[in-house]
Structure formats: structure tokens, C-alpha cells
Amino acid sequence: MRKKNIIVVGLQWGDEGKGKIVDLLSKEVDIIARYQGGNNAGHTVVSGSLSLVFRLVPSGMLNKDKICILGNGVVVDPVVLFEELDSLNKLGIEVKDRFFVSYKCHIIMPYHKRLDIARERLRGAGMIGTTGKGIGPAYEDKVARLGIRAVDLIDRDILYEKISLSLKEKNYLFKNVLGETVFNPDDLINKYLELGKRLKDFMIDSSEFINNKLDEGNNIMLEGAQGTFLDVDHGTYPYVTSSNTVSGSSLTGVGIGPTKIDAVIGITKAYTTRVGEGYFPTELKAELGNSIRDKGEEFGSVTGRPRRCGWFDANLIKEAAYLNGITGMVVTKLDVLSGLNKLKICTGYLLKGSIINHLPYSISDYDRITPVYEEFESWNGDIGGVRSFKDLPVNAQKYLIRLEEYTGLPIYIVSIGKERTQTIMLKNIFR
């Protein structure tokens, strides 16, 4: 039987703890590839005394014998990429011959960042709360056919022409609409050719490369960034990121077909968080939200912004389950809920007298829905040392069983702390 190929996605609004889980599951695969997003992501991986935050490179990079790839669907800021590769090198983690970037990746340019930040300012109170990394404008240029691809960085004439074309409209906007200084292609060309020279050694065709590797009997894990409800189509639009985050997008994002995939693993926190603006039905505004935030250290790993916290939303996870075709889930940060008085799980939204089991279609309905909750008794004490389901406090066991019942998804893994070892394995995903 062939080795399993899996997709790992976040089921909420990102920050579900994918970094730790991807790192953990890396042992079972030969290749780890990202398929969308860019350095808006922040994946924290803790290994012994090492705590590393990756923004761009796949979370599997710490596993020295694994191949890691940025697929064509990722937008790459080469400056950030080389910072990360350099810091890995300093830790003695070799990247040569095992890290690759698709030649089709679109490049985040300095003007994308400036545009991202200026647009947010223009929106004022209606801001999205982006990470300000230029992600949206880079994807816009891709679709507008104005993008710079990785391969363009190795040809001076093409690069110059493409930067000039892209800046024609943008400089007008910067000058006349956004009140920003303009860019001159002459100031960018040498720096980006220099970056291209270095990037060249890592460039591959991710589609050809991965398909060949799979044919040779290797397996792959496709690592999602952000989360299901930040998806540009299926998320809480317009408060979303600019890529498709759901599992289906992983196929176009590296260039393989759906017949290659054996399992889709969804990661969810035992509660819910969201960073940035936008709808969040089970958000806890007062003290309780703050206490979850402090206990769970819920601050953005890229921007440091405090994350908004709230109850587990089973309604949301059910929707995420069918959007992604989830086969099983991983529940993270269960330890954070220890010692809270009462716990709640949202089982539906009340809208105009009836229960709806999906997010509202129209944004005007978000203000009209009331989450319906089921209450639970919590448990006390530190559960960070528990290694099997039966050793969890009875109420924690009950809580997990209810999560399974409400979402209709089996739990494969429970995470009860940052360390790799603070993990309860309920099912081996690869057997």
C-alpha cells in the first residue's frame, strides 16, 4: 500500500496550533509543502529549549531529513525568506538540497507592503486588520497579471519591464490618492536581481518535482496557513485573507491532482480565537475572554496583537468539516481551559426565531444572530503531563466527547501544551 498523503488545515481563523502538529506529523512524511499565503502566517514550533516562529518556511523545517517546499500558490517575500533560512543555518539546520521554491511563486515587492498599509489607513474604521505584509496586493497583482514571479528575478530585462508596468498604476495611486511617495524601478532592480541570484538555487517546478517524488513512493503533507474562515471565498468576507485557505486550494497551490490525497486533518483549538477585525459569533468580550487570552498566551506571533478569544463554536467547525472534507481533527490547547468555572460550546445560531447551522449569508445578519450554547462543568489542575485519554479529568473527557458528537468528526490528537511531548495520540493518522 502506498504511504498516505495528507492535508493539514486550520478549522477556525488561524492560529489553531498547526505549527506544532505539522512538526509532529513531519516524521511520517517525506515532503512538507505550503500551498498558499505568505509571511502573514506565524507558526510556532517548540523543541526542547528552542522556540521558533516560522512565517514563511514550512513548519517541517526542523526535521533535518525532510524535503520542504513553497508551492506556486505561496506569495514570497524573498527578504523574509532569506532571514529565515539564515537563522535556520545559524542553528545548524541545513537547508541546501532539501528546501525548494516554485519558480511560479509570486513575489511580494516593497510597493505591495506600502499599498497594504495605505489601503488599511484609507478604510479607517472599516479596516480589515491585515498583517501589513503586502499579501493582498501581491495576490491582486497575480490575478491582474501584473505579478512578478520568482523566475522573473533572474532576468534583468523582464524584471525591469514587469516592475515598471506594475508601478504605472500604483505610482499614480500612491501620489494622487494615498498621499504616499512613489517607487522608482531603478531603485528596486539591483536589489531584487541580487535576491533572485540567491533564490535561483532553490527554484523548482513544484508540480513536476512533487509528482515525480510521489511516483517514486514518497509521501507528502500539505501544510495550510491561516484558517478556513479566513478563506477569500468561504470565510467571513471581507474580513479574510487574500488566498483560498481550504484544503481544495492545496492542490492548485502545489500542482497535484485530488486523486493523490488520502486524508484531510483539521486543527482546532479547544476554544476559538481570532486576530484582526471581523465577525466572531462566540467572542467573549469581558474578563473571561481576557483570562483565556492570558492563560493561552493569545498574542499574534507575527504582529504581537492580542487575539480575541471565545467559546468553542461547533457550528463553525461543522461547516469547516464539509468545506475541507475533513477526515478527523486535532484539538489543541485543551490545557488552557483547566480551572475555568464553566465551559460553553456553541451548537447553532438563533436568527429571527429559527436556528441556522452555518454562518449568515449576508453580513447584515451577523448583528442579528445569537449563539445557542450548551454548558459544561470544567475541571481543575494542570493537565500538561497527561499522556492518555483515560488519565484526563472526567469532565475533560466528556468535553472532548461532546466536541466529537457536535462536529461529527473523530479526534485524532489532543494537544495539552507547547512541547512536542505534550500530546495525546488517539489514532495514528498514517496507519
Is 65 an active-site residue? no
Task: Please provide the DSSP assignment of 44-74 as one string.
Answer: EEEETTEEEEESSS-GGGGSTT-EEEE-TTS
* Active-site choice (23, 30, 43, 116): 43
Binding site for ligand IMP (CB under 6 A): 13-15, 40-42, 128-131, 133, 135-136, 225-226, 230, 239, 241-242, 275-276
Instruction: Check: CB of residue 13 under 8 Å from CB of residue 268.
Output: no
The residue among 118 and 158 lying less far from ligand IMP, judged by its C-beta, is 118
Instruction: Check: CB of residue 40 under 8 Å from CB of residue 24.
Output: no
Shortest distance, position 314 Cβ to ligand IMP, whole Å:
21
Shortest distance, position 22 Cβ to ligand IMP, whole Å:
13
The residue among 39 and 244 lying less far from Mg ion, judged by its C-beta, is 39
Number of C-beta neighbours around residue 121 at 10 A? 11
Strand pairing partners for 99? 68
The residue among 68 and 275 lying less far from ligand IMP, judged by its C-beta, is 275
**What is d(CA 43, CA 56) in angstroms, rounded to the nearest whole number?**
9
Does position 42 interact with Mg ion (CB under 5 A)? The reply is yes
Shortest distance, position 413 Cβ to ligand IMP, whole Å:
20
Shortest distance, position 300 Cβ to Mg ion, whole Å:
7
Site for Mg ion in 2-41 (CB under 5 A): 15
The one-character DSSP state at 109 is P
Query: Measured at CB, which residue is nearest to ligand IMP?
Result: 276
SS3 content of the chain, % helix, strand, coil (to 5): 40, 20, 40
Is 112 an active-site residue? no
Strand 220-223 relative to strand 328-332: parallel, antiparallel, unpaired? unpaired
**Identity of residue 378:** S
Instruction: Check: CB of residue 414 under 8 Å from CB of residue 423.
Output: yes
The footprint of Mg ion on this chain (CB under 5 A) covers a number of residues equal to 3
128 binds, among Mg ion, ligand IMP, none (CB under 5 to 8 A by kind): ligand IMP
206 binds, among ligand IMP, Mg ion, none (CB under 5 to 8 A by kind): none
> Which residue in the block uniquely carries the three cell numbers 456553541?
346
Rounded to a whole number, what is the distance in angstroms from the first to the last CA of the chain? 11
270 binds, among ligand IMP, Mg ion, none (CB under 5 to 8 A by kind): none
The residue among 163 and 225 lying less far from ligand IMP, judged by its C-beta, is 225
Does position 278 interact with Mg ion (CB under 5 A)? The reply is no
Shortest distance, position 17 Cβ to ligand IMP, whole Å:
11
Strand 50-54 relative to strand 43-47: parallel, antiparallel, unpaired? antiparallel
> Which residue in the block uniquely carries the three cell numbers 445569537?
370
* Active-site choice (15, 141, 152, 313): 15
225 binds, among Mg ion, ligand IMP, none (CB under 5 to 8 A by kind): ligand IMP
Stretch that binds Mg ion, among 87-95, 139-147, 264-272, 297-305 (CB under 5 A): 297-305
241 binds, among ligand IMP, Mg ion, none (CB under 5 to 8 A by kind): ligand IMP
How many CA atoms within 13 Å lie on the side-chain side of 132? 12
The residue among 15 and 77 lying less far from Mg ion, judged by its C-beta, is 15
**What is d(CA 383, CA 394) in angstroms, rounded to the nearest whole number?**
12
Determine the length of the chain: 431
The residue among 129 and 393 lying less far from ligand IMP, judged by its C-beta, is 129
Shortest distance, position 14 Cβ to Mg ion, whole Å:
5
Instruction: Check: CB of residue 225 under 8 Å from CB of residue 37.
Output: yes
Residues annotated as part of the active site: 15, 43
Binding site residues, Mg ion, CB under 5 A: 15, 42, 301
